[in-house]
Structure 1
Amino acid sequence: MPKGLSPEDNWCFACGPANPIGLKLSFSEEGEKVKARFRVKPEHQGWPGLIHGGLLATLCDEAMAQWLWRRGFVAYTGELRVRFRKEVAVGEEVLVEAWLKERKRALFLLIAQVLNTAGQVVVVAEGKFLLKKR
């Protein structure tokens, strides 16, 4: 949490506990990856019975941002490429994880993926993040 910001002040749509309509993702670290579990609710659907693709992209973007934040980097998404491989149904629990692929000075290239309960990769994303200028 940034200095001077309490959990009650965190309104982030993806991870903020103060946001009443947020996803409330809670990340942990496992080796060089960050991970979070997410259960798809009816209000998360696009097509009937399936999660909205934009929310899957949000899960990936947040996981990559969390990887950076937990290592003390303040960086912003410059580009996000998402590949959807399989549908995710309402009621399913998924695992999102992210890790660093490469760093070039102020540019970070990260990978994120979403897995279903069978361990199948349903989404893969690649993000380019730019360090915030001081």
Structure 2
Amino acid sequence: MLKKIKNAFSLKNLEHNCFGCSSHNPIGLKLEFFKTENDFYSIWKPSKNYDGWNGIVHGGIQATLLDECSEWYIFTTYGRSAVTIELKTKYLKPLSSTKGDIKIFAKEVSKKRNIIEIETEIFDSDNILTSQGFGKFLMFSQETSKEKYGFPDISEFF
């Protein structure tokens, strides 16, 4: 069953201005996320505003897509906030900004205490793998997530 993830941050706070996910940021990516029984992903329509070379999505934007999808996987799976410790990226093929929607997938590789490792992949509109990411993330406790970072209850995402 497909579930669209609600952006609980933007719903609670009109000042929420995350470059990756806020619907309120006029220059942001405005990412939305989806979850099925087996997959966690985002669908994003690139534009030339995010180009590096003409017609190719900038590598830094691609890294942001990989990082943001990883974070949202953690948010909606564990109900906790997290920060990126390490993010490795591999750029396999140019990612067109003009051919249509792309998909970013995230999956958990391992979790030891409060360190979680996530693999991510970007597929272009022709379903060709263009970029891969591997990240390590430090998850905060639920108490710290709520008290220090105003993290919403996990139920607010669904």
Q: TM-score, normalised by structure 2?
A: 0.78
Tell me how far 1:112 sits from its aligned partner: 0.6
Of 77, 85, 88, the residue aligned with 1:78 is 85
Partner AA of 2:87 in structure 1: L
Q: CA deviation at 1:7?
A: 5.2
Aligned residue for 1:6? 12
Tell me by how many angstroms 1:38 deviates. Answer: 1.2
Instruction: Identify the structure with the greater strand proportion.
Output: 1
Alignment partner of 2:98 out of 91, 98, 102:
91
| Unaligned stretches of 5+ residues in structure 2 | 1-7, 145-158
Residue number in structure 1 paired with 2:147: none
Q: 2:30 aligned with 1:24, yes or no? A: yes
Q: Which amino acid aligns with 2:47?
A: K
- RMSD, aligned α-carbons: 1.7
CA displacement at 1:31 relative to structure 2: 2.1
SS at match of 2:32: coil
Letter of the 2:106 partner, please give it: A
TM-score (norm 1): 0.91
Q: Is the 8 A contact 2:21 2:30 kept in 1?
A: yes
- What amino acid sits opposite 1:81 in the alignment? K
Task: Name segments (4+ residues, structure 1) moved above 6 Å.
Answer: none
Secondary structure at the aligned position of 1:20 is classed as coil
Q: After superposition, what is the alpha-carbon deviation per residue over 1:26-46, rounded to whole angstroms, capped at 9, x for unaligned?
A: 101122432111112111100
Q: Does 1:123 align with 2:143?
A: no
Task: Tell me the residue number matched to 1:105.
Answer: 113
**Shift, 1:5, TM fit:** 6.1
Structure with the largest fraction of helix: 2
Conserved 8 A contact 2:96-2:124? no
Unmatched 5+ residue regions in structure 1? none
